[in-house]
Amino acid sequence: MFEWRFDQGRLDYFQFDEIKRMARALTTINGISKPDIQRDLLREALSRYSSRPFAPLNYTVWRNYKRVFGCLLLATEVEGKIVCTDLCHILSKDYDIIDVDDYLGHFSNNFYYPSPVFTGYDQVTPQTFPVIAIIKLLLSEYLVNGKTCLSINEIGNYLIANEVTGTEPLVYFSTLKPKSFQGDLRQTRELVKFISQFSFLKWGKSSLFLEINSKEEANQIDNLFIPRSSLRSLYPETEILNLGSHFSSTAWSDLTIGQLNLIDAEFTEGSKSRVTHLRTERSKKLKDFYFAHSRNPHVCDMCTMDTEKQYPWADRLIELHHLLPLCSPVRVDEKATSTKDIVGICPSCHRATHKFYSKWLKDNGLKDFQSHEEAKYVYTKAKQEIVLT
């Protein structure tokens, strides 16, 4: 039995929007020799795309964040040079080439233990795919018991203690019996929070929640997780490059497309990021969070209608609108999520806002907003142009 490792204490660097920014910066210095402290070219590149501090400043970014870049399958060091993976190059390009589900799907099918990112790597020990194991256990619990959440301790007792590898068929997970796991689960927790950015997962109350609508959808998700077991390189840096290769787009969008109405379809126009955006807005966990923490949860932020007074027979009629860029998932975590990232609006205003977004993006030749500030500016612009009678 071995520890499920991940990079701890840097969760903000593992958010999908930030991953894309780091990928853009890394590709601009691809192939250069490791920078020194006198002129850290990587820090200079990151400062153009990211507002993260990459502290401390008295060390090079590569020295302190090499493991972050490796865990994310973005870059490694080869013969003293920084080399980007194919996945890094894809992430650095147009927003709609790859969305958060595509990226995490590739990560899940490729990230294994013993990992070339950490010490103790070798190419012969049988592989364990932790993310696939976690999601299969969650799917199994849903299909067999109707349970939709999984705690960190359950991951330790059912998966790590039983030395589950993630390569087992889904039916195997219903046969697991818990054992007492006494190891440290802090890094496992970080891994779980990271993967909770999948559009069908949410993190909250120290548990991972599954948000799907049917057993058919659960089986669809299961079919998308295929561990990539192949001949491994003797050299960790070469293996990281291998893990960041062979990206192919997946069918994640199909999980939501079937639920779209005509107005939704007009908004998404086949865009991966917009479909993911819709799934995020429809999250039950996100809606529970909003109604628990918002000062006036029943009042539409656009037209100011009090839906509770207007329609007293309808409970929680307000819908959520995601103010962040379309490609950005929201973490449902009371310590990390703020109601400033979401607004409640009535169904009519919600549809009208999506129409405004579609028109604004098309008029400006964009597929997605480039920053939080731009997304909020366009929402405010839509709000200002509404005609109240």
The pLDDT score that the predictor gives to residue 111 is 97
The pLDDT score that the predictor gives to residue 38 is 87
C-alpha–C-alpha distance, residues 373 and 134, integer Å: 35
Lowest mean pLDDT among 98-112, 170-184, 301-315, 337-351: 337-351
Average pLDDT, the chain: 90
CA distance readout (Å), 27 to 86, 89, 307, 328: 10, 6, 49, 21
- Tell me the pairing of strands 319-322 and 201-204: unpaired
Average pLDDT over residues 265-270: 74
The pLDDT score that the predictor gives to residue 212 is 87
The pLDDT score that the predictor gives to residue 371 is 83
**Which of the residue ranges 73-77, 197-201, 311-315 has the most confident prediction, judged by mean pLDDT?**
73-77
C-alpha–C-alpha distance, residues 279 and 260, integer Å: 10
The pLDDT score that the predictor gives to residue 256 is 56
Average pLDDT over residues 297-322: 91
Average pLDDT over residues 102-106: 94
> What's the pLDDT tens digit per position in 239-263?
999 999 999 876 666 665 555 666 6
Residue corresponding to tokens 């889904």: 170
The pLDDT score that the predictor gives to residue 275 is 80
> What's the pLDDT tens digit per position in 30-81?
999 999 888 999 999 999 999 899 999 999 999 999 999 999 999 999 999 9
Average pLDDT over residues 220-241: 94
Among 206, 106, 122, 226, smallest CA distance to 156 is for 206
The pLDDT score that the predictor gives to residue 257 is 55
The pLDDT score that the predictor gives to residue 387 is 82
| Token digits of residue 379 | 């929402």
329 vs 111, residue with greater confidence: 111
Domain ranges of the chain: 1-94+234-250, 128-226, 254-385
Please name the residue ranges forming H helices in the chain.
Answer: 16-28, 41-49, 61-71, 86-91, 100-110, 130-145, 152-154, 170-173, 186-195, 215-223, 236-243, 254-257, 262-268, 272-281, 284-293, 307-310, 347-363, 372-385
> What's the pLDDT tens digit per position in 327-346?
888 777 666 666 678 899 99
Whether the predicted pLDDT of 105 surpasses 90 = yes
C-alpha–C-alpha distance, residues 319 and 281, integer Å: 8
| Token digits of residue 208 | 């991972």
- Tell me the pairing of strands 319-322 and 207-210: unpaired
